[in-house]
Amino acid sequence: MGNVIGVLALQGDFREHKKALQALGVEAVEVRRPEHLKGLKGLIVPGGESTTIGKLAREYGLEEAVRKRVEEGSLALFGTCAGAIWLSKEVLGYPDQPRLGVLDVAVERNAFGRQVESFEEDIPVRGLESPFHAVFIRAPLFARLGEEVEVLAEYAGRPVFVQEGRVLAASFHPELTPDLRLHRRFVELAQEI
């Protein structure tokens, strides 16, 4: 697959996303400054700690730069776990948490209970022929969805993978399994730009 995709590399498991992209034959670049966005059509925001990612992104001018590119329609985004939280319009219980706010959802952090820190489950995903092995680690939940937001996968009747335009967000970690189908879907989405 052609194309160059960026991975926000401020904190979290960005190396795993890079490896997944490279396994698809896609060039992956680490994004730490606004100038690194130049020429990119897609950006992956990894899992990690959403407050830290949000604070650093604001400090380095990336929040503003990424928002501008998404709003002008020249950048596709894929947020996983903490990355999905950063994309969201609203973070329940944390009104001041720095975030991008381009995905019309309200997220609940650590929504599956702290006692169940992590779990794995095979879940059906819209458009995939067989289930996807989803790894959830202190995962968020999409608690409210705007009208334009499509649900691509659910776990226990709750949305865990959603799409709005060229923005994808997953509660789980597709970069932690060898299955490349969701990364491929994102690369294709970015190529449409």
End-to-end CA, the chain: 15
| 90 is known as an active-site residue | no
Q: What is the DSSP letter of 99?
A: -
| 81 is known as an active-site residue | yes
Q: Site size for ligand GLN, by CB under 6 A?
A: 11
Choosing from 16, 90, 108, 175, the catalytic residue is 175
Choosing from 17, 36, 63, 81, the catalytic residue is 81
Is residue 190 within a helix (H) or strand (E), and if so which, with residue range? Answer: helix 181-191
Residues in the chain: 193
The residue range among 20-28, 35-43, 63-71, 77-85 that interacts with ligand GLN, by the rule CB under 6 A, is 77-85
Beta-ladder partners of 125: 153
CB of 80 to ligand GLN, least distance (A): 7
Q: What residues numbered 45-64 form the site for ligand GLN, per CB under 6 A?
A: 47-50
Distance CA 140, CA 147 (A): 20
Residue 82 is a binding residue for ligand GLN (CB under 6 A): yes
Distance CA 102, CA 74 (A): 13
**Nearer residue to ligand GLN within complex by CB, 101 or 191:** 101
Report the catalytic residues.
81, 173, 175
